[in-house]
Amino acid sequence: MQHQNTLAYAQELDNKDELKSFRGKFHIPQHNGSDMVYFTGNSLGLQPVTTESYIQQELNDWKQFGVEGHFLAKNPWFSYHEILTEQSAKLVGGLPSEVVMMNQLTVNLHLLMVSFYRPTKQRYKILCEAKAFPSDQYALQTQAQFHGFAPDDAIIEVEPRAGEYAIRSEDILAAIEKHKDELALVMFSGVNYFTGQVFDMKTITANAQKHGIVVGFDLAHATGNIDLHLHEWGVDFACWCSYKYLNSGPGSVAGAFVHEKHHKNISLPIFAGWWGTDKTSRFKMEKTFVPIHGAERWQLSNAPILSMAACKAALDVITEAGFEKMRKKSALLLSYLEFLVTEINTTQPEGKKFEFLTPKEDSVYVPKGIQPGCQFSIIAHGRGKELFNALVKEGVVPDWREPNVIRLAPVPLYNSFEDLYKFYVILKELTQ
């Protein structure tokens, strides 16, 4: 597509946008009386306009019914988590029985590793990407320690090659092959939080599992952002948060996936709680834990209703928009953003040009057919955080990662092509 760096062209793209009306379904933060250019949906998504009414419904039912709201509320709290299941399952490509919304992401990761990281004297190692999100790193380290292993020995990190930023797919597969007899678990992100690299989850899963290795993914930056087919790929387990691309609010409820092939295995070790026991006998308060045959088995406690209400509001917006349309727009937003940054580079001196950190599809990092998500990370060579601070001062909200990386995430539900053009004009002025 032949892009143009003009306001008229950006507005033309917005006029043709099938999702243009959805911007009005979100509260856009303001700067000097105008909408901010908000590019941090990869960190915290914006609030849907309907979120307040969804939460207010539960507050009203709490006020009216008290404890009886568990059964008399408009959306009974006893089963509230179930109204999130089908929509969440579609977003990750799972069966409804394989998905549950519960807890927080790292809590879910630990709970799932109780069941799926089962090291032995010979097979105890974990393969992951270098520079995974710190919470994942800490979880893996402490799980290894919990089982009596030294993290430096138990954890194998696949790193980018010298002079490169992303990890080559072939290097991940080579590491699996090299350590196949030592590995108990392969645990990667779906999308690396720093580079925005989308990993080939299907191929990673297939190559690990043929050697009897369990595979799990942290989908914090993937769910609601890229195409996922966890059931079809045969992924053993996964977890994700809902406050980034799912727009459910700060610290909101997270999600978990457990493939159905594990559902009937009642011998799986688990840290149990009463919300994971058989629903028909739950209120008999019996001593023995009778597990639900599904992802709900990993639940511990009853649902955080107010958090889930916010999540439901956001999922309803995504359902209305249609994820296929969101992905189509996301690709066009990313293409236009790359074009505009390239245009800025033509005016920059050597040593201060912006370098693209996020790898493209059909490269040594991302195989053909795996499209990038919303995130576009760029390296601001020769510049410090003063550039980021100047952008914020002008009403642009990107994300800064030391030492010189700016992460931008134009989200198809509420970012416009005019947003990208405004960013282009501001960045160009700041780098003259």
Per-residue pLDDT tens for 83-94?
Answer: 999 999 999 999
Question: Within this chain, do residues 36 and 94 fall inside the same structural domain, yes or no?
Answer: no
Question: Within this chain, do residues 168 and 186 fall inside the same structural domain, yes or no?
Answer: yes
Closest CA to 207 of 230, 178, 227, 228: 178
| Domain end (from 268, 287, 317) | 317
Question: Within this chain, do residues 217 and 86 fall inside the same structural domain, yes or no?
Answer: yes
- What does the longest C-alpha to C-alpha distance in the chain come to? 73
Residue 2 lies in a domain: no
Number of residues written out for the chain: 432
Residue 157: predicted pLDDT = 98
* Residue 291 in tokens: 């597990």
| Domain end (from 317, 350, 373) | 317
Residues 363, 308: Cα–Cα separation, whole Å = 39
Residues 81, 302: Cα–Cα separation, whole Å = 9
Which CATH number goes with the domain that contains 382? 3.90.1150.10
Question: Within this chain, do residues 298 and 326 fall inside the same structural domain, yes or no?
Answer: no
Question: Within this chain, do residues 184 and 237 fall inside the same structural domain, yes or no?
Answer: yes
Question: Within this chain, do residues 110 and 123 fall inside the same structural domain, yes or no?
Answer: yes
Could you list the residue range(s) of the whole structural domain that residue 377 is in?
Answer: 7-47+322-430
DSSP tag of 201: H
**What stretches of 154-298 adopt beta strand conformation (E)?**
155-158, 183-189, 214-218, 237-240, 255-258
| Domain end (from 284, 317, 350) | 317
Question: Within this chain, do residues 291 and 247 fall inside the same structural domain, yes or no?
Answer: yes
Please state, as a whole number, how many other Cβ atoms lie within 10 Å of the Cβ of residue 60. 13
Question: Within this chain, do residues 309 and 425 fall inside the same structural domain, yes or no?
Answer: no
pTM: 0.96
Question: Within this chain, do residues 230 and 91 fall inside the same structural domain, yes or no?
Answer: yes
Residue 109: predicted pLDDT = 98
Residues 203, 189: Cα–Cα separation, whole Å = 14
pLDDT digits 0-9 by tens, 359-408: 987 778 888 888 899 999 999 999 989 999 999 999 999 999 999 999 99
Residue 1 lies in a domain: no
Total tally of structural domains belonging to the chain: 2
